């Protein structure tokens, strides 16, 4: 099989503006949630990432349709009118983790669902026990056999659900399922990420009654019917944070535009602590490079803390800072595979359990490396932009799951990046 590589010739200072796309992690919840409507749902500014295509294919497998519209195909229209309850066992369902949102959506719509276990990035164990406990509390019975989950419910009834951990996925899945349950569901210790507020806005515009999204207690009063609507997806704070870290490493002056800076407070404070020159405006930030950076320690945590998805991009920046930085990922235990690849490029990182100790600053040089998961890919792209010589990054499909038009965006900033098959 031909392998595709992203190649980057490093060492060019970047300048200009990069416009951030809509949030992947919102989009992958909004598409499954849309099937609860009885008429078409339009999602505005759909990001052009592979996960969207896969979720579209799953809508088609279920007998629904989707199409792109608008001058730049920026609208994504889902028509769930003829949707049927067809088991999703093969193909796209296994290729992304977010396909598990069809568990909540199909359970709410048909009271019965059969689905293959979701795929996605390996970041250490990623159980879905909290999702399943939530569905059980709403009245579902669950059978698991091999890689398949089968759930059904006579009726879905609102319940009080306390999450042992404020899981993003479990909060979203329970919100989706409970929006059509009888009576009121209360999710306690709910996740507070901005994507949850975005989903709540979509569902409420479809006719749901959800209050409290963005706090740790969400109340969902079930309704019988939901209708189609138009919804503008929030900007991708992780894509934004990646380009901010990238600019801090490689920019002369780069404006990261179309973002909600408050979603990035924890990252911005950390970068300021490192000595990054960053100017914050209403819906953009501007990063100016060329300053000496000092190493910092950081820990990932739930929102509004520093996002685990930004941990890997930040590690690359710490390799360019003076001193020793200690990074702990409290959300995922095995999200450090990029460190071994960075070491091939000249970094000095020691991984110990769920922590990494980084000795900086070390010059980086081009090497052949693998994007072991999505954000690891981002971490390597940043490294490649500042390395001497050409870096070849394999497993590009991981990067394409979450970063839309990455070559175009980086080329516009003055980077030398291209793809080759071999």
Of 205-213, 305-313, 391-399, 404-412, the window that binds ligand UD1 (rule: CB under 6 A) is 305-313
State the alpha helices, DSSP H only, in 47-145. 50-61, 101-110, 129-137
Q: How far is the CB of 173 from ligand UD1 (least distance, A)?
A: 9
State the alpha helices, DSSP H only, in 47-128. 50-61, 101-110
Is-cis flag, bond preceding 78, omega within 30? Answer: no
Near ligand UD1 by CB under 6 A: residue from 18, 28, 383, 417? 28
Q: How far is the CB of 331 from ligand UD1 (least distance, A)?
A: 5
Q: How far is the CB of 1 from ligand UD1 (least distance, A)?
A: 27
- Contact status: 126 vs ligand UD1 (CB under 6 A): yes
Q: Which of residues 143-172 bind ligand UD1 (CB under 6 A)?
A: 165, 167-170
- Name the region of 189 (left: φ>0; alpha: ψ -120 to 50; beta: rest): left
Given the complex with ligand UD1, which of 219 and 401 has the nearer CB atom?
401
| Nearest alpha carbon to residue 245 among 271, 273, 283 | 271
- Contact status: 213 vs ligand UD1 (CB under 6 A): no
Given the complex with ligand UD1, which of 156 and 168 has the nearer CB atom?
168
C-alpha count within 13 angstroms, C-beta hemisphere, residue 134: 34
- 121 flagged as catalytic: yes
Catalytic site residue from 49, 121, 178, 331? 121
d(CA 282, CA 163) in angstroms, rounded, equals 34
d(CA 246, CA 313) in angstroms, rounded, equals 8
- Contact status: 130 vs ligand UD1 (CB under 6 A): yes
Near ligand UD1 by CB under 6 A: residue from 129, 143, 217, 273? 129
Q: Which of residues 49-108 bind ligand UD1 (CB under 6 A)?
A: 97-98
Q: Which of residues 178-197 bind ligand UD1 (CB under 6 A)?
A: 191
Given the complex with ligand UD1, which of 165 and 418 has the nearer CB atom?
165
Q: Which residue is nearest to ligand UD1 (CB)?
A: 169
Sign, Cα dihedral of 191, 194, 197, 202: negative
Q: How far is the CB of 220 from ligand UD1 (least distance, A)?
A: 18
Here the tokens at position 311 are 């941990």
| Nearest alpha carbon to residue 142 among 178, 170, 175, 104 | 104
Given a contact cutoff of 8 angstroms between Cβ atoms, the answer to whether 314 and 296 are in contact is no
- Contact status: 332 vs ligand UD1 (CB under 6 A): yes
Q: How far is the CB of 365 from ligand UD1 (least distance, A)?
A: 30
Number of chain positions touching ligand UD1 (CB under 6 A)? 22
d(CA 258, CA 250) in angstroms, rounded, equals 20
Q: How far is the CB of 84 from ligand UD1 (least distance, A)?
A: 25
Question: Residue 271: enclosing H or E segment and its boundaries?
Answer: helix 265-274
Of 39-47, 122-130, 151-159, 246-254, the window that binds ligand UD1 (rule: CB under 6 A) is 122-130
d(CA 238, CA 334) in angstroms, rounded, equals 19
Given the complex with ligand UD1, which of 97 and 180 has the nearer CB atom?
97
Helices and strands in the chain: count of H runs, count of E runs: 13, 23
Q: State the angle between helix axes of 237-250 and 265-274 in degrees (0 to 180), rounded to the nearest 10.
A: 10
Given the complex with ligand UD1, which of 198 and 392 has the nearer CB atom?
198
Q: How far is the CB of 130 from ligand UD1 (least distance, A)?
A: 3
- Contact status: 312 vs ligand UD1 (CB under 6 A): no
| Nearest alpha carbon to residue 417 among 237, 276, 250, 255 | 250
- Contact status: 131 vs ligand UD1 (CB under 6 A): yes
Near ligand UD1 by CB under 6 A: residue from 25, 45, 242, 319? 25
Given the complex with ligand UD1, which of 28 and 210 has the nearer CB atom?
28
Q: How far is the CB of 364 from ligand UD1 (least distance, A)?
A: 25
| Nearest alpha carbon to residue 399 among 380, 385, 412, 418 | 380
Given a contact cutoff of 8 angstroms between Cβ atoms, the answer to whether 211 and 218 are in contact is yes
Near ligand UD1 by CB under 6 A: residue from 18, 128, 210, 317? 128
Here the tokens at position 222 are 């079930």
The residues of the shown chain that bind ligand UD1, judged by CB under 6 A, are: 25, 28, 97-98, 125-131, 165, 167-170, 191, 307-309, 331-332
Residues with a catalytic annotation lie at 121
């Amino acid at each position: 099989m031909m392998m595709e590589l992203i190649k980057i010739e490093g060492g060019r200072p970047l300048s200009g503006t990069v416009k951030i796309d809509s949030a992947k992690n919102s989009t992958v919840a909004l598409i499954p949630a849309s099937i609860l409507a009885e008429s078409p749902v339009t999602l505005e500014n759909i990001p052009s990432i592979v996960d969207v295509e896969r979720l579209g294919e799953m809508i088609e497998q279920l007998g629904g349709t989707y199409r792109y519209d608008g001058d730049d195909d920026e609208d994504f229209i889902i028509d769930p009118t003829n949707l049927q309850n067809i088991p999703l066992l093969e193909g796209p369902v296994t290729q992304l983790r977010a396909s598990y949102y069809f568990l909540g959506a199909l359970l709410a719509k048909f009271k019965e669902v059969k689905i293959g276990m979701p795929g996605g990035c390996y970041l250490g164990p990623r159980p879905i026990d909290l999702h399943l406990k939530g569905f059980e509390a709403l009245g579902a019975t669950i059978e698991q056999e091999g890689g398949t989950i089968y759930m059904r419910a006579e009726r879905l009834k609102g319940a009080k659900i306390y999450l042992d951990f404020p899981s993003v996925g479990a909060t979203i899945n329970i919100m989706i399922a409970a929006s059509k349950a009888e009576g009121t569901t209360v999710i306690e210790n709910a996740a507070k990420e901005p994507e949850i507020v975005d989903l709540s806005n979509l569902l409420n515009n479809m006719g749901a009654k959800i209050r409290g999204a963005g706090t740790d207690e969400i109340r969902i009063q079930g309704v019988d019917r939901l209708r189609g609507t138009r919804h503008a997806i929030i900007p991708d704070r992780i894509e934004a944070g990646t380009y901010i870290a990238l600019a801090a490493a490689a920019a002369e002056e780069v404006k990261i535009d179309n973002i909600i800076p408050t979603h990035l407070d924890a990252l911005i404070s950390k970068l300021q602590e490192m000595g990054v020159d960053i100017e914050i405006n209403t819906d953009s930030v501007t990063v100016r490079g060329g300053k000496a950076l000092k190493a910092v320690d950081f820990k990932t945590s739930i929102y509004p803390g520093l996002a685990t998805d930004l941990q890997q991009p930040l590690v690359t920046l710490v390799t360019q800072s003076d001193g020793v930085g200690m990074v702990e990922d409290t959300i995922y235990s095995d999200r450090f595979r990029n460190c071994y690849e960075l070491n091939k490029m000249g970094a000095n990182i020691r991984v110990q359990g769920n922590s990494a100790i980084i000795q900086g600053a070390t010059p980086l040089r081009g090497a052949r490396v693998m994007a072991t998961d999505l954000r690891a890919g981002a971490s390597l792209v940043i490294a490649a932009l500042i390395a001497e010589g050409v870096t070849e990054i394999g497993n590009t499909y991981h990067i394409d799951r979450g970063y839309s038009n990455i070559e175009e965006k980086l080329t516009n900033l003055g980077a030398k990046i291209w793809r080759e098959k071999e």
